[in-house]
Structure 1
Amino acid sequence: MIRLTDLSSYADAQQHASMDALWALFDGDRTKLNIAHECITRHADGSGRAAVRIAHSDGTDEILSFDQIHAGAARFAHWLDSEGIKPGERIAFMLEPSLAFYVCLFGAMQTGAISVPMFTLFGPDALRLRVGDCTPAMLVTNAEKADMARSIVNEDGKPAVIVADDTFLASIAHFPATYTPRTRADDLAVFQYTSGTTRELPEAVKHTHKALVTLMFAALYGTGIRPGDEFFCPSSPAWGHGLWHGTLAPLGLGVTTGTFAGRFDPVRLMQALDDFGITNMSAAATHYRMMKNTGKGDDYTFHFQKLSYTGEPIDPATLDWIDSHFKTPACSMYGTTEIGVVLVNYPGAQDFHVKPGSLGKAIPGQRLEVQRPDGSMSAPREIGELMLWRRGQWETTKDRAKIDADGYFYHCGRADDVIISAGWTMSAVEIENTMLKHDNVLECAVIGAPDEKRGQVVKAFVIANVAGSDALTRELQDFTRKKLAQHEFPRIVEFVSELPKTPAGKVNRKVLRDREAARLADETPEQTL
């Protein structure tokens, strides 16, 4: 059988990609499989080859080998056994990328315990909600977060809080440096929480060990990973993109990956991309936009051959900056934590034309349509609901989209990001992308604000590189109206210093809508009976 990692063209993907071909990339089979073995153990050959490069926000670099992680993970697995941890119990991790993080993550997976990544910037309320949901036996964290972690321990003393520092790693060094996992392919391996607000509990998506195999569709055709790539993903491994696409996918193919630890700094990221000679990067749209806004892209040398992004569309101005500085098209890949990646742009495929702003086409074997409310297929360029064929029926993605005459899909916002004003239906994403073309707009978020006369009006929250003013408001309104339509412009512009974002880096329009509704309620006089 032809190995999929030896092929890179779009035509080959359509002809050869199959589940059997994906399984052939691994040691395990449909009965027995372990993520830690596939990602770490089988690549630990004693050579000291790099597995993970970490760019720390303080300017230091850390390089971890497959051999280091393999030995440490085995010792942690033996330690968990000695502590009485059973297969199926949850182990939560609240750690920045580090030797301790990878040792504990893969060590837990080897034993059959379920790894639960937690975002390091969670406050006590957000952490308590998730811990209360997944009820872990242990919460592994660092010294800085230990007191907060202990504050949520319940009356039964659960979870046990473990500080995974150098002292802890030294304390388990006497355990054997090898471990034989006994997990089945269908055993649960990871609970992944989506990036909701801290006041709401996002649903935990439960992944089995065999999810690593299905993931390879996204790896091969969404990020274009192939052996020999120098890969980097700055997204936190607490989220789906950073864990699955940035960590497990490359390591599963024996590819050295890179990541960012600490408070994100776009200049520090560009320095790391230059220093590490990164040829393939997958990042959030926000990462690219922040690099552009520094104005320092010319200070570094880039070596890219493949680029991808996810999370939300990239505005045209940022796409232009990517083309001029990285000399490589940025390829969108679309999916969610719940459904996985389903639309890609096949980075590295010379026979696939990347259309700027497009979500691309379906991964091999997937079927998607843009549909009207009655279930009929939308015409080319007609906005409708993006639907995925799964389990013998159409399932909604809760996103709006359109498709062009060549079969490329385009994102038109979440279903609740549509603005209806005086009978006109408008896309928040389209208005945002237009405003971001203005020279004075650094970031922008658009919502529908309640309006007594029109039902809703477009309100834009703008981070500008000059002081906000009535004159700039009128300029932005005229700029948008001329580029879109006479009715498609922000009737209200509010200049802000920052925008609320989800922990995964996406602009959180729901927070803006909730704030606007609360403001309106405060301003509305109470009616007397």
Structure 2
Amino acid sequence: MHDSAHVDTFARDHLPPPRERPELCFDLPELAYPRRLNCAAELLGRTDPARPVFRTPEGPVWYYGDLRARVDRIAHVLTGELGVVPGNRVLLRGPTTPWLAACWLAVLKAGAVAVTVLAQQRPHELAAVCGIARVGHALCDARSVDDLAKAEVPGLRITTYGGDGADDLLRRPAPDAPFEAVDTAADDVALIAFTSGTTGRPKGCMHVHRDVLAVADTFSRHVLRPHADDVFAGSPPLGFTFGLGGLVIFPMRAGASSLLMEQAGPRQLLPAIAGHRVSVLFTAPTAYRAMLGALDGHDVSSLRRCVSAGENLPAATWHAWHERTGVRIINGIGATELLHIFISAADDRIRPGTTGVPVPGWQARVQDEHGAPVPDGEPGLLAVRGPVGCRYLADPRQREYVRDGWNVTGDTYVRDGDGYFSYVARADDMIISAGYNIAGPEVEEALLRHPDVVETAVVGRPDEARGQVVVAYAVLREGARRDPGALRAFLTAELAPYKCPREFVLVDALPRTATGKLQRFRLRTDGDQR
């Protein structure tokens, strides 16, 4: 490991011990990064300042020169008046806007560690993230500050942006001069991305400056192959690494631009594609299915690349989209632990119904629970390795994810004789609904905070439109009013909306073995446990 630029060494001090770290591979010439590297400076410094970088549905276009000046100004405020030093964790919260992206770049350019969360997350969730990452500073869209303030994180200094106050980030005095990027090591931690764990406790995935460029120099460069004139757009927010890569890292690495939308559901995407001539689209299979039914009257002829990840892409959806649009969806699997997509295929290499082959720079295999490769055609655990690997922040689950240097993703896969990988199922209790990863135990923990709930089990049930939907089974205390609507209202205040169950089933008892172990499989397969 190289000499760190971090003054606050918390992130580096809490990396997994060397014996638990993944084996990294840098097999491509473009992955030979220098020892000193600041990824924000690299992304900002490669493109003509007169070229567009960020667009919004109704606002003015940001150019690379504008973005650099605004990033530098924010970095001056961070390191000056706010007192942020290299290695400090800075929480970023707000809807997808150019200002959120500028704040992310400024945090990294200043050598601090970006912790981007969803604008939807509730106080309880935000407090957990801040506690795990020891966050001391937050940059928050003025419209999203209420829940963060309600989290009551000890010592957290919240600075809003986009508001009317004199102390707003964008109104604070700062030198009108370039900001010299902190000379970070390539393996200094740049960001901590949180993902739900199967136990309910979120896991912080630490990624270094080199990782940010590596995902662009593997998947984006070799599979997506963007052009400088491309306009990117998509549904995932920047709080998800799927969105961070597809809407910020990949377009900027290519000198292209992206359309950043605060609301980016299927209803908003279709007119936006036509209005802004979007050519590269990132979204989940659920959205492609929804847009298929609304294509009439919308011009999508500008699309040349469509990327799908977040959940399995059915062959029927692929064929229907190709038939209607002429565009072949690039399917892929990625993980927050690995930052972005590591198995995929494009153009003539696509085989509908499969995920694809390892992205150049990555290796993949299917293995049994003991780590031995299984024969082609037999299901097993997907294991991958490449230039990026899982580094959980002080979490014993590191030993489960990284085994003998391989990242074991928790997915069951089959590889065929031609080397194509096909998804079978999740190997744990994670529910994947409309591209969101939802930990059943986390929802259970929140539901158990309701005073009337005695026991609960949360599972995923197959759903044609969303892949899976979240279903909560609950046993109530004797005499309690049996009102699923009250449980729904309670959870809406406790969890982000996408985690809330679509259905509540009130039962007298949960199915258990003779030894008392909950039989989740019965809840998944028996449609009615009432």
TM-score by length of 1: 0.70
Structure 1 residue aligned with 2:41: 37
Corresponding position: 1:320 with 2:329: no
- Mapped contact 2:39–2:213 kept (Cα < 8 A): no
Partner Cα separation in structure 2 for residue 231 and residue 100 of structure 1: 17
**CA deviation string 1:235-282 (max 9, x = no partner):** 1000110112331122122121223213x4312101111122122222
Distance 1:53 1:297, change over 3 A: farther
Secondary structure of the corresponding residue to residue 338 of structure 1 = helix
RMSD: 3.8
Give, in angstroms, the shift of residue 207 of structure 1. Answer: 1.3
**CA deviation string 1:20-74 (max 9, x = no partner):** 3245xxxxx52221122122244252x2x2111234xxxx355322122211111
**One-letter amino acid of the structure 2 residue matched with residue 267 of structure 1:** R
Structure 2 residue aligned with 1:10: none
Partner Cα separation in structure 2 for residue 458 and residue 130 of structure 1: 24
**CA deviation string 1:346-393 (max 9, x = no partner):** 435xxx421002111112243322234565543443222222357964
Partner Cα separation in structure 1 for residue 265 and residue 418 of structure 2: 38
Partner Cα separation in structure 1 for residue 141 and residue 254 of structure 2: 30
Give, in angstroms, the shift of residue 286 of structure 1. Answer: 2.5
Structure 2 residue aligned with 1:495: none
Give, in angstroms, the shift of residue 413 of structure 1. Answer: 1.0
Give, in angstroms, the shift of residue 154 of structure 1. Answer: 4.0
Give, in angstroms, the shift of residue 230 of structure 1. Answer: 2.5
Partner Cα separation in structure 2 for residue 317 and residue 183 of structure 1: 49
Corresponding position: 1:246 with 2:247: yes
Give, in angstroms, the shift of residue 305 of structure 1. Answer: 1.9
Give, in angstroms, the shift of residue 511 of structure 1. Answer: 6.3
Equivalences for residues 121-160 of structure 1 within 5 A: 121-155=120-154, 158-160=155-157
Corresponding position: 1:164 with 2:161: yes
Give, in angstroms, the shift of residue 101 of structure 1. Answer: 1.1
Secondary structure of the corresponding residue to residue 333 of structure 1 = strand
Partner Cα separation in structure 2 for residue 367 and residue 267 of structure 1: 37
- Mapped contact 1:298–1:325 kept (Cα < 8 A): no
Structure 2 residue aligned with 1:333: 332
**One-letter amino acid of the structure 2 residue matched with residue 344 of structure 1:** I
363-372 or 402-411, which moves further after superposition?
363-372
Partner Cα separation in structure 1 for residue 496 and residue 153 of structure 2: 28
Structure 2 residue aligned with 1:301: 300
Q: Which consecutive unaligned segments of at least 5 residues does structure 1 have?
A: 1-16, 24-28, 419-427, 434-444, 448-456, 465-497
Partner Cα separation in structure 2 for residue 175 and residue 90 of structure 1: 23
Partner Cα separation in structure 1 for residue 174 and residue 409 of structure 2: 49
**One-letter amino acid of the structure 2 residue matched with residue 356 of structure 1:** P
Structure 1 residue aligned with 2:363: 367
Q: How many residues align?
A: 420
Secondary structure of the corresponding residue to residue 219 of structure 1 = helix
Give, in angstroms, the shift of residue 142 of structure 1. Answer: 2.4
Distance 1:520 1:68, change over 3 A: farther
- Mapped contact 1:34–1:209 kept (Cα < 8 A): yes
Structure 1 residue aligned with 2:509: 521
Secondary structure of the corresponding residue to residue 422 of structure 2 = strand
TM-score by length of 2: 0.70
Partner Cα separation in structure 1 for residue 298 and residue 364 of structure 2: 42
Equivalences for residues 5-404 of structure 1 within 5 A: 18-23=27-32, 29-43=33-47, 45=49, 47=50, 49-55=51-57, 60-82=58-80, 83-155=82-154, 158-165=155-162, 167=164, 168=168, 170-172=170-172, 174-184=174-184, 185-195=186-196, 200-215=200-215, 216-262=217-263, 264-292=264-292, 294-341=293-340, 343-348=342-347, 352-373=348-369, 375-388=371-384, 393-404=405-416
Equivalences for residues 440-519 of structure 1 within 5 A: 460=462, 519=507
Partner Cα separation in structure 2 for residue 222 and residue 512 of structure 1: 36
- Mapped contact 1:221–1:346 kept (Cα < 8 A): no
Distance 1:239 1:222, change over 3 A: farther
Give, in angstroms, the shift of residue 395 of structure 1. Answer: 4.4
Identity of paired residues, percent?
Answer: 21
Distance 1:366 1:143, change over 3 A: closer
Give, in angstroms, the shift of residue 151 of structure 1. Answer: 2.3
Distance 1:324 1:191, change over 3 A: same
Structure 2 residue aligned with 1:9: none
- Mapped contact 1:309–1:332 kept (Cα < 8 A): yes
Structure 2 residue aligned with 1:485: none
Report which structure shows greater RCO (CA 8 Å, sep ≥6): 2
Give, in angstroms, the shift of residue 460 of structure 1. Answer: 4.8
- Mapped contact 2:69–2:178 kept (Cα < 8 A): yes
Q: Which consecutive unaligned segments of at least 5 residues does structure 2 have?
A: 1-25, 387-402, 441-458, 467-487, 516-530
**CA deviation string 1:277-332 (max 9, x = no partner):** 1222222222212323x434453333222222111112233223211222111111
176-185 or 122-131, which moves further after superposition?
176-185
- Mapped contact 2:71–2:102 kept (Cα < 8 A): yes
Structure 1 residue aligned with 2:420: 408
Larger Rg: 1
- Mapped contact 1:231–1:280 kept (Cα < 8 A): yes
Secondary structure of the corresponding residue to residue 210 of structure 1 = helix
**One-letter amino acid of the structure 2 residue matched with residue 521 of structure 1:** A
Partner Cα separation in structure 2 for residue 162 and residue 458 of structure 1: 38
Structure 2 residue aligned with 1:479: none
- Mapped contact 1:77–1:111 kept (Cα < 8 A): yes
**One-letter amino acid of the structure 1 residue matched with residue 83 of structure 2:** G
Give, in angstroms, the shift of residue 229 of structure 1. Answer: 2.4
